[in-house]
Structure 1
Amino acid sequence: MDRGTDPLSRMPAVAPLLLADVLDRLPARLQRRLEERRDLARDWTWSAAAGEVVVSTGTAVVRVRPASGVVREPDQAACDCLLAPRCLHVAAVLLALPISVDDAGPAGRPPQPASEAADDQVPVSAAARAAAGAAWQACALLLDIGATSAGLVVQGELLRAAHACRLAGLHRTASAVARAVQRLAELHAGRPEYRLDFLLGDVSDALTSALAVATAGEAVSRSAVGVARRAYATVGSLRLAGIFSEAVMSAAGYAGVVTYLADAEGRLWTVADVAPGGPERVAWAYGAPIEVGDLALSHRGLGRSGVYLQRATGSRDGRLGTGRDVGAVRSGASGWDGGVPWERPPAAQLDAVFAALALDQTLRRSGWDLLFLDGVVVGVRQAALVLSTPVGEVSCYAPTDHEELPYRRNLRLLGSAPGLPLRVVGRALTQRPRSLALLAVGPGAAAEEAPALALPSDWLGRANLGVDVLQSAHVAGGERGPVELPVQPAAAAPDPLDPLARRLGQALTGGRVTQAESAWADIDRDAALLRRRQLPGAADRLEALRAASLRGVPDARRRFALAWTATRTYHVAARNRLSRTSWG
């Protein structure tokens, strides 16, 4: 099966510094034209052949020749028009490419060994402090004028800051700034994948990590610095049991399957086959052989098998190396009966999930947000399958809205059997109370006269909900349709922190002016509402943000950025605390 037929889904990434340089040298009149139509190149004809991407504009042809999937040098993007290389065509094409968030270029630092821990102290060099300061200033400028007003010049400053941070080894800040620029491109182009909460997270991550480095003494924690991705080290021999396989479809056009395996200590490891493509690539990856050392198994088989590895390699986040030097032997089938992940108490699992939220993404281990629970089906409430579990009722949602994947259909079928005992794996949705993105299910402890999950024998006691299609015959004793539950008033209650979240989003989108004197009466009402909800700390942060919006005072931009960062930090901590408390 084709791994994806859309040429745009196979686009290479562009290095931040190259994109910044190309935008800087573009003549002013062409910059204005590109500002007006950020997605200009999307209307041109794209094709891929012989290791290059060819873009035909109708009057010119741009050829992009990436190295290892990334365009880093000016001569890797060439146009045949008379204005090249300072032409609109090259700039528009590079602006349409995804930004490489992990690329330092040939001069970049080598990745750190996988043995470094999140609480390591990292020396802060003068170059790192200067790069962090530049990133802080660039993000403070973005906050001051607002995302909707952040044109190509501001984005160029952010891209240069990202490159400087990458060269200085500040991987967390560099990645966050590069992701923020990608979100800005989505916003200005009006793309449907744009999400304000993603931009909020990236900008606050960049500001927080940059400030930690810029104000540190001689050393700073590894979590503030981050690590380079895909740093593999030898981990020796591993005896692993396949747990489940997850279907992956990203807004960036990547698709495939990730399989999770557990070792004897309960640590999770992953093997992935994710590449550019659409829904058809998920099915292809699930059934196609993937090599783990000298062993070739499909993801369908790997997630249901025991595997013994010798000379195994792995990254700090739990990704297994699949090189030919690894010795691998299949050691029979793996089951969920007495599975190590389910032996850990739910409260301990939840504590670990919420503790990991404070870490940089590169320091979180694979499966850090997974919960392994036993429960009984109650029914369906709106879009959620409701389970009764040892930690109370849990709402289980489909991880993605893609209709091509069977998540939703499978959940509704399970919802037709109240009383059905299940053993489940789901991803904790930390921004929703008592919620999971349900990934896989298996039969729970049998109960007399209760419905039962009767899966095909070759599924070995589990259904991967994004790739395995459940049939009504698999749910013995179910009703003819999902059993709908009434909507609970508590579930429809507003987020108590909503006034704070709203103001943070307004400030980032529209800039400091949105919190200025004309909005103070509304801000005071929001602060009073937060106090009535017994959230005086949130009210204090909102009032501090208002005070920092004053115009005409010295260092106003820095004051506002500091207040916004502190308010966002409080909001994230309070939201996570409320979410954890909701689980009991």
Structure 2
Amino acid sequence: LYGLFTEPVVTDSGHGGVRTWVAGSDGRLHTVGDVAPGGAGRALGVADRAVRLGDTALTHRELGRAGLAVSGATVSPDGRLGAGKGVKAVTARGAAWTEPPLAALWETPPAAQAARALRTTSRYGDPGGGGGDLLFLDVELLGAVAEPGGTCLLALCEGGIPVRLAVADDDPALAHRDNLMLLATAPGTRLRIIGRMVPALHPRLTLLACSHPAGEGTLDLGLDRLRRADLPDPSAPVRPAPPQPGGSGAESPLFLLERRVEQAVTAGRSALGMLGDVTAETRRIRRAGLPTAAGLLAALCASAGRRERDLFGRLLPADTDGFATHWLTAARYTAAVAESLCAAAWEPPLRRSAGRPLDRPRSG
């Protein structure tokens, strides 16, 4: 097994720890984790503890950059390695990100990686094996972009695709936010990165690890802290990224249908039944070229408010089965369209913006 990186894990339930990602010689990804009650403080401490796998003395942080020969370990469907009594593990030579077998992870085109990640993250899809939502990209940093949820980093990946890189966890005890802001001071820097797919109408990842800007080694961006001395210009301020044109789905009114689907879950059928006329919303959706979505919205709201009467004028019980059918149809449709728009955003533009083609970083 060849170490890739280690990420801190902090859950809303108060658990903390780390997950170290390793790859086999066949390119399959596996994880070695240590998560227990404790929060961010435990995550930082566990990173420097020995891995619970065989008799190895490697810490999680070291395993993310080293190799491990393992026998007798079980593997769960999501790629987790079991640490039973029969497991034997000894330290072995690792591989740089630019060396086989790890280098092959970056050879798949970004659009194909995004399609695989969408199959993994789809609420109706097959989750598949572990690491299906990870993307391996070569990028050139462009600068910072202000968003309602905080600043993210804009980068250009292979094929001229602009990708937004967000922090994986905003906990101040972790290094994600500080590292991202330092990288935002170095536009033009070329890095090899690992990120987790965030389904959106534009290419988006949470940034987990990257090659070192100075050209040697790699950084676990939740655990290792960059220094200004590591950057090309230590005194440079945060640089805003140049404006980027919006993609085909940037202004999609699909959210008008999505919010009604979600409203039915949180507030119930009666809330949709009281909306009244939704002609303005359906008209806006039709103008965007989504007549099916407009029809589904109208049918969903009409079904929610429809109550039949018997021959004596008494209200009959609501047709809950009919409403459920309309809701499920709308939910599946919005998920499919959102995934299609996300996949389209990862396709290379017809014309690349002016500039040099991306080179492969020399660091590993």
State the TM bucket, normalised to the shorter chain: 0.7 to 0.9
Please give the TM-score of this superposition, normalised by the length of structure 1. Answer: 0.54
User: 1:277 aligned to 2:38?
Assistant: yes
User: What is the aligned counterpart of 1:294 among 39, 50, 55?
Assistant: 55
d(CA) in 1 for partners of 2:25, 2:85: 24
The CA distance in 1 between the partners of 2:233 and 2:109, in whole Å, is 30
Q: Which amino acid aligns with 1:574?
A: V
Poorly superposed stretches of 4+, deviation over 6 Å: 359-362
Q: Which residue of 2 aligns with 1:490?
A: 246
> Residue 313 of structure 2 corresponds to which residue in structure 1?
none
Matched, 1:388 2:148: no
Q: Distance in 1 between matches of 2:126 and 2:42?
A: 26
Q: What are the equivalent positions in structure 2 for 1:206-217 lying under 5 Å apart? A: none
Task: Pick the aligned partner of 1:429 from 191, 195, 198.
Answer: 198
CA contact (8 A) 1:294 1:324 kept: no
Per the alignment, residue 359 of structure 2 pairs with: none
Structure 1's unaligned 5+ residue stretches are 1-239, 444-451, 456-460
Tell whether the 8 Å contact from 1:418 to 1:478 is kept in structure 2 after alignment. no
Match of residue 355, structure 1, among 111, 119, 137: 119
Q: 1:476 aligns with which of 222, 225, 232?
A: 232
1:546 aligned onto 2:301: yes
Q: Point out which structure has higher relative CO (alpha carbons under 8 A, 6+ apart).
A: 2
Q: Deviations over 1:449-483 (max 9, x none)?
A: xxx4255xxxxx11000010110111133552211
User: Which amino acid in the other structure matches residue 323 of structure 2?
Assistant: F
Q: 1:335 aligns with which of 75, 93, 96?
A: 96
- Give the AA of the match of 1:304: R
1:532 equivalent among 280, 287, 290: 287
Using a 3 Å threshold, how does the CA distance of structure 1 residues 362 and 270 change in structure 2: closer, same or farther?
farther
Q: How does 1:98-497 map to 2 (within 5 A)?
A: 240-338=1-99, 339-358=103-122, 363-382=127-146, 383-391=151-159, 392-443=161-212, 452-454=213-215, 461-477=217-233, 479-485=235-241, 488=244, 490=246, 494-497=251-254
Distance 2:245 2:264 in 1: 31
Partner Cα separation in structure 1 for residue 167 and residue 107 of structure 2: 25
Aligned-partner Cα distance in 1 for 2:342–2:77:
27
* TM-score (norm. length: structure 2): 0.85
Number of corresponding residues: 330
2:256 paired residue number: 499
Structure 2 distance, partners of 1:269, 1:352, is: 17
Deviations 1:424-443 (A, max 9, x none): 00001013511110000004
Q: Distance in 1 between matches of 2:181 and 2:80?
A: 32
Match of 1:562 among 319, 322, 325: 325
Contact preservation (8 Å) 2:5, 2:64: yes
Which has the larger Rg?
1
Secondary structure of the corresponding residue to residue 334 of structure 1: coil
Note if contact 1:454-1:474 (Cα within 8 Å) is conserved in structure 2.
Answer: no
Secondary structure of 2:276's partner?
Answer: helix
1:370–1:427 Cα contact (<8 Å) kept: yes
Correspondence for 2:269: 512
Give, in whole Å, the separation in 1 of the partners of 2:125 and 2:287.
35
Which is worse superposed, 321-330 or 342-351?
A: 342-351
Report deviation, 1:498: 1.3
Shift in Å, 1:353 = 1.2
More helix by share: 1
Give CA deviations for 1:544-567 in whole Å, capped at 9, x if unaligned.
Answer: 212321124556122212211111
Aligned AA (1:560): F
Q: 1:247 corresponds to which letter in structure 2?
A: P
DSSP 3-state at the match of 1:252: coil
Answer yes or no: is the 8 Å Cα contact 1:420–1:453 preserved in 2. Answer: no
Q: Note if contact 1:454-1:475 (Cα within 8 Å) is conserved in structure 2.
A: no
Contact kept in structure 2, 1:441 and 1:465, CA below 8 Å: yes
